[in-house]
Structure 1
Amino acid sequence: MRTMILIEKIIQKYENSAQDWKGGNAGNRSIRIQQKDYDEVGKSQLLWEAVELEEQGLIRVKWFNNKTDIEKIIYSLEDINKMHQLIGKTPKIEILRQMNEFVAEQMEVVKERWIMACYEEMLRQLDNGSIPKNLMNYEAVHEDESELNSSLFCTCLNALDVLREPIYKRIFSKHYLGNSKIFEKVFQLRIISQARKYHPDIDDNMNDSEVLSQLYIEEYSQELALKGELILELAGEQIDLSVFIYGTVLTSEMLKHAQIAVHQNIRKIITVENRANYMSMKYEPGTLIIYSHGYFSPKERDFLKELERVLCEREVDYLHTGDLDYGGIKIFQYIRKFIFPQLRPFLMDVGQFEAFRSMGEQMGDSAWEKMRVLKDPLMQPLIDKIVEEKIVIEQESFL
């Protein structure tokens, strides 16, 4: 279809209107012609279009300077469909109807509540006359590729809806989107944004990699580092990890297939935010020390929740040590909420703050604002102290 700038401008104004695009309105509307419109296609071309469309009865032109300039173009709402047909453009109301139908079909097949919320947001935007950004076509990832299909974002959401095992990011992208790099280059930030808004397990302190990990998308293999008393069962054999007094790691496959033995000698569990502190902690009988690397992934979380269930009849101390800052406290709250309900802070109090205050760092204003509204009954004295001093202390300082 040929390009006609005047019709495109008319349709653009029509579709950007608050009510006209919905149809049913009658009467005339107008657009004014400015110098930038002449510059866009050339004055002679624009004047030629105006003459031709006026002869066809699609517009009326208010001329001046002996028909060498246009003041404004007047058109009838009843002729809008003809204009769409003339340039081969689908009306906005029809595009919205098709998209609404498509999104409704996606909602019928998903089960995760947060993904349903993503689709509900799209429907609200469509009902308000806006095409959701996530349903628009995307720029090509490579020069030799055409535009990506707008439904690929929904393909991502629907794939995440059924994921129950960790998968490498590029394998996810190749398997579900047909190209190993499309997810990272095009969809990753959009998915992370939606997950931050709607996923119930996403904490506001998580970085992008940690958010993806909560969705079972991994950049590298999961490894749960620990040292101390833990007995596993695998292929009919018992494995006593206490013999690894300097620590060991459980791969994602071990987390998936190993069982936690019913009989355990654990009397204390300590989760540690930072690797250096974890590595420096010595093995001691009856204690299991676990490196949390920030936020535990879903697989790690399930494994530790099962451990807590096995130990529920015993008297076990659950402790966490981390940075004396907003992130450290949020990680503590996350572990207590999702894994160990009896968790208590360890080396995370006013006394520890005072002892290492000289090694603290000044807080930025944004971090201070978040800390100022943070509440926790077990850590409120520390929170108040940090807010008062505007100083945070990294856990590595304890070494």
Structure 2
Amino acid sequence: MEDKEVREYKKKILTLLLRKYQNSLSFQTGTPGKQRPQLTMAKSELAADYEDELDFRKREWIHAALKELSREGIIQVTWPKLKEHIQVHKVYLNFAGVERAYQLLGETPLEDKLRRLKESLSPLAAHPWVWVRSWQRETCARLEERKSAGLDADNPQGYDDLVKVLKALPELEDSTPKRVFSQSLFQDSKYFEKKLEGRLISLLRKIYPEELDQDEDYLDQVGIVNNPKLTLLAGPLIIHPDRDLSHFSGGLGLSAQSVKELIIQDIPAQTILLIENLTTYHEVLQAPPILPAPVLAIYTGGFPHKSAQKLLEKVSGFLENRRQGQGLEIFHWGDIDYGGIRIFEYLRRNFFPNLKPYRMDGVTYLEYESAGLPFGEDQAKKLAALLSDPGYSDWHEVIGLLLSYRKRVEQEGIRVG
């Protein structure tokens, strides 16, 4: 019977050779090339065992493993002159022995694993979100070229589940607690959190159209939350002939269902102010900003979560249908930094084409720069990249100041009035 040690060395040798084969042009093209996958014993991961002077049996076991594999035609061994069967030089994997090598290891051939992944991702070709379709198309193209495309080829079930999640996300009308989402999709309230959350976040960080700060922010944008979030607003918004939200001086927090059912009757405001940070939102309610009153204030929380997006859509839709721009201006107030600028443009692009910045200009920046927070080279490179983007042309002055002083000014540090 073959020694256990010999079997283990056979596995190690085959693993090393198949790894080289899988990284080779021969594998990627599917056509055997002139050069076979090979390892030089003296430079391989087996070298320490092979040259172990304290245990000569290791070399004997390796020789025995090589002999068995050679006998089956899987490999070819070369020896230095006058050292045949004494000192191995190189070990080559025969192309004809690849299938048998996988069999001995008890592994599915990599090309079959990649084909399985491609099949798993195929339903996403018809996904309603263009950025998901683009990822699917690019990834499947790489899989077709026999490249792993950064995927874990040994976990096809994980990608089946990920596809199931991605297909379900567009159907989420409101922000859905992750455990409710998991129970609905997998009949296990913790399955998403344990098995898929990390993989989904990793993917979103690569392909989501907006660059966000926290993992939670990415989940928010696709409708998954730890717990339901309220949408905060205060000011003149009439949702019923006898219900004007301005009567609630401390503002209101609307649930996702309330936002869904809300029908705007009128917006008798002179100004709408979108506010990035929660502290500033509460300060605005206590000390109104220097803007034409009355002011309708809406807290966005940075990039707005799904329910807040629905409210903004309703406000935007109402204003568009009423075709009233007379006397009503819409502002956004956020941090003067890379994130704040991008949030502003997101809101302008998706909800309010005539949106204007409030206290996010060069004069305000210079007034508060001394109390600003330093930022590093990574943020500087991202800011510099915006200078070449036509969509950020209005921000060149502010970006220039940010790059000159290398400080960001948080909204909370700026006076309301």
> Distance in 1 between the 2:367 and 2:93 partners?
77
Match of 1:19 in 2: 26
Task: Report deviation, 1:320.
Answer: 1.6
Task: Show the counterpart of 1:144.
Answer: none
Is 1:221 the counterpart of 2:225 in the alignment?
no
The structure 2 residue matched to 1:133, chosen from 118, 129, 150, is 150
Shift of 1:343: 1.2
**Counterpart of 1:122?**
139
TM-score normalised over the length of structure 1? 0.83
Residues 1:258 and 2:262 aligned together? yes
State the distance in 2 between where 1:398 and 1:109 align. Answer: 46
Pick which of 286-295 and 12-21 moved more. Answer: 12-21
Match of 1:102 among 120, 139, 150: 120
Q: Say if 2:26 and 2:33, in contact at 8 Å, map to a contact too.
A: no
The answer as to whether partners of 2:158 and 2:196 remain within 8 angstroms in 1 is no
Structure-2 change in CA distance of 1:36 and 1:266 (3 Å): closer
Q: Which residue of 2 aligns with 1:382?
A: 398
Aligned equivalent of 1:67: 85
Deviations 1:205-241 (A, max 9, x none): 44322221111111221211111101124xxx85321
- Deviation, structure 1 residue 271: 1.1
Q: Which residue pairs with 2:216 in the alignment? A: 209
**How far off its partner does 1:279 sit?**
1.1
Determine the structure 2 residue equivalent to 1:143: none
Gaps of 5+ in 2: 1-6, 51-56
Mapped to 2, the partners of 1:127 and 1:221 lie a distance apart of 41
Q: CA deviation at 1:327?
A: 2.2
Q: Which moved more, 1:22-31 or 1:85-94?
A: 22-31
The corresponding residue for 2:354 is 342
Deviations 1:234-256 (A, max 9, x none): xxx85321110121111111111
1:353-392 to 2 correspondence within 5 Å? 353-375=365-387, 376-392=392-408
CA distance in 1: counterparts of 2:93 and 2:377, whole angstroms: 55
Question: Partner of 2:331: helix, strand, or coil?
Answer: strand
Q: Which residue is 2:128 aligned to?
A: 111
Root-mean-square deviation over aligned CA pairs: 3.1
Does the 8 A contact of 1:155 with 1:177 survive in 2? Answer: no
The number of equivalent residue pairs is: 383
Match of 2:251, as an amino acid? G
Q: Structure 1, unaligned stretches of length 5 or more?
A: 139-146
* Deviating more after overlay: 244-253 vs 61-70: 61-70
Q: Which secondary structure state, in structure 2, belongs to the residue aligned with residue 100 of structure 1?
A: helix
Instruction: Give the letter for the 1:131 counterpart.
Output: S
- 1:63-106 deviation line (CA, Å, top 9, x unaligned): 564634422334532233333334433333333333333333x2
* Aligned partners of 1:137 and 1:150 also within 8 Å: no
Question: SS of 1:318's equivalent?
Answer: strand
Secondary structure of the structure 2 residue equivalent to 1:259: coil
From the superposition, tell whether residues 158 and 134 of structure 1 become closer, same or farther in structure 2 (CA, over 3 Å). farther
Q: By percentage of residues, which structure has more strand? A: 1
Q: Deviations over 1:141-169 (max 9, x none)?
A: xxxxxx96453232332222433332112
The one-letter amino acid paired with 2:406 is K
Judging changes above 3 Å, is the alpha-carbon distance between structure 1 residues 244 and 368 closer, same or farther for their aligned structure 2 residues?
Answer: same
CA distance in 1, matches of 2:30, 2:359: 66
State the one-letter code of the partner of 1:393.
Answer: V
* Equivalent in 317, 326, 339 of residue 327 of structure 1: 339
Counterpart of 2:53 in structure 1 is none
Partners of 2:74 and 2:39 lie apart in 1 by 14
Letter in 1 for 2:257: E
| CA deviation after TM superposition for structure 1 residue 395, in Å | 1.9
| Amino acid corresponding to residue 212 of structure 1 in structure 2 | L
Q: Distance in 1 between matches of 2:183 and 2:316?
A: 37
Contact 1:118-1:194 at 8 Å conserved across structures = no
Q: Does 1:78 align with 2:96?
A: yes
Distance 2:219 2:360 in 1: 28
CA distance change for structure 1 residues 238 and 212 in 2, over 3 Å: closer, same or farther? farther
Distance 1:357 1:76 in 2: 67
Maintained 8 Å contact 2:372/2:408:
yes
**Farther-moved stretch of structure 1 (335-344 vs 172-181):** 172-181
Q: Which amino acid aligns with 1:327?
A: G
Which residue is 1:88 aligned to? 106
> Which one-letter code corresponds to 2:164 in the other structure?
T
| Secondary structure of residue in 1 paired with 2:103 | helix
Secondary structure at 2:88's aligned position in 1?
strand
| Map of 1:300 onto structure 2 | 308
Matched with 1:280 is 283
Change (3 A) 1:221 1:72: same
Question: 1:333-386 CA deviation, whole Å, 9 max, x = no partner?
Answer: 221111121111222223323433443333433333333443545444333333
* Gap change, CA 1:273 and 1:70, over 3 Å in 2: same
CA–CA separation in structure 1 for the residues paired with 2:363 and 2:34 = 76
Q: In 1, Cα distance between the equivalents of 2:250 and 2:408?
A: 30
Letter in 1 for 2:246: S
How far did 1:126 drift?
Answer: 0.9
Identity %: 26
Cα 1:65–1:175, aligned 2, differ >3 Å: closer, same or farther? farther
Structure 1 window deviating more from structure 2 (108-117 vs 29-38): it is 29-38
Q: 1:175 aligns with which of 184, 203, 217?
A: 184
Distance 1:113 1:121 in 2: 12
Mapped contact 2:114–2:153 kept (Cα < 8 A): no
Summarize the alignment of residues 29-40 of structure 1 with structure 2, pairs less than 5 Å apart: 29=36, 30-34=38-42, 36-37=45-46, 39=49
